[in-house]
Amino acid sequence: MTREDAPVFVREIIKTSGDMWMKGWAEANGGNISLRLRPEKTGDLSGFAPKTDWIPLEKALPGVAGEKFLVSGTGKFLRNIPLFPEKNVGVIELDAAGAAYRQLWGFEPDGRPTSELEAHLRSHEVIKAASGNVKHAVIHTHAPHLIALTYALALDTPRLTKLLWQSHAECVVGFPEGVEFIPWMMAGSPEIAAATADALLRRNLAVWQFHGVFATGRNLDAAFGLIDMADKAAQIYLMARAAGRVACTLTTDQVARIAANFKVTADPAGLAADTADYFA
Ligand code: 2HA
Ligand code: ZN
């Protein structure tokens, strides 16, 4: 399969993974992507012969039982997806209980899904239910400015949220529900998978301290765009600090007025957060 004859659902991951590489978010095998497939877009995939036996998940996910997902492969470089999609991504399906998965397509010749599969699938289960089946995409990536913030500043969810809202005027509109801050945990662990799914129940963005970010959206473009916006806000803040000091910023009142103007409800805990020390 080439880029030209790839089906539409593979073309979406080709575009997104190429963009992630170009942004500098996806060094080596960093980052991973998953897309819950819509039968109306993919057509009938039942013709794929299973390539593996059923592989048990850590936790059964009945909310996504029987669903098929396009996921990036473990150890694969996102920047190679546009060149060789069938080697670097694959399609998996969950069994009727949501307790195990098997590989249907891709991961050539002997690859496996991403090491963060549990975080992706648990997130899909909660976002499917919470969004009324609208959200289909999850992206994990190493967006450098967001990561740098977790080294430069002592953060929590309300303060990170407000800092980003104050650092880029679009942010309160893009993510009015805020950004969840997840203190360091072992990547790939059931603990971080659970914390990430819990965060994405409430919010579309979750920053992993010292590591990266998870985002969700109706499609890969939406999730990508949110990360791009948040990382740019972090970059603007860091650039202003690097220029000497941050002499002024959007005030709480200005952020609240932007939210009102665009008819979004800004997370009250974010608006109430005290970020004065970030701008001192
Ligand atoms: O895929 O980014 O968090 C490699 C990672 C693990
Ligand atoms: Zn990572």
Structure token digits, residue 71: 């996921």
Identify the CATH class of 1-115.
alpha beta
Yes or no: say if 228 and 236 are a contact pair by the CB < 8 Å rule: no
- The rounded Å distance from CA 273 to ligand 1 centre is 31
Q: Of 24, 270, 16, give the one whose Cα is nearest residue 167.
A: 270
Q: How far apart are CA 106 and CA 66, in angstroms?
A: 19
Q: What angle do CA 18, 32, 218 make, to 5 degrees?
A: 80
**pLDDT per residue as tens, the chain (280 positions):** 555 666 777 999 999 999 999 999 999 999 999 999 998 878 777 778 899 999 999 999 999 999 999 999 999 999 999 999 999 999 999 999 999 999 999 999 999 999 999 999 999 999 999 999 999 999 999 999 999 999 999 999 999 999 999 999 999 999 999 999 999 999 999 999 999 999 999 999 999 999 999 999 999 999 999 999 999 999 999 999 999 989 999 999 999 999 999 999 999 999 999 999 999 8
Helices 220-242 & 144-152 angle (0-180, nearest 10): 50
Q: Of 236, 226, 252, 134, give the one whose Cα is nearest residue 174.
A: 226
CATH number of 142-280, picked from 3.40.225.10, 3.40.50.1370, 1.10.10.60, 3.20.20.120: 3.40.225.10
Catalytic: 86? no
The pLDDT assigned to 41 comes to: 79
Which ligand 1 atom is nearest residue 72's CA? 1
Q: How far apart are CA 89 and CA 96, in angstroms?
A: 23
Q: Of 33, 41, 43, 101, give the one whose Cα is nearest residue 67.
A: 101
Residue type, 98: G
Cβ–ligand 1 distance for 12 under 6 Å, the answer no
Domain with CATH 3.40.225.10 in the chain: 1-115, 142-280
Q: Which of 12, 67, 93, 116 is catalytic?
A: 116
Q: How far apart are CA 10 and CA 1, in angstroms?
A: 10
The pLDDT assigned to 49 comes to: 87
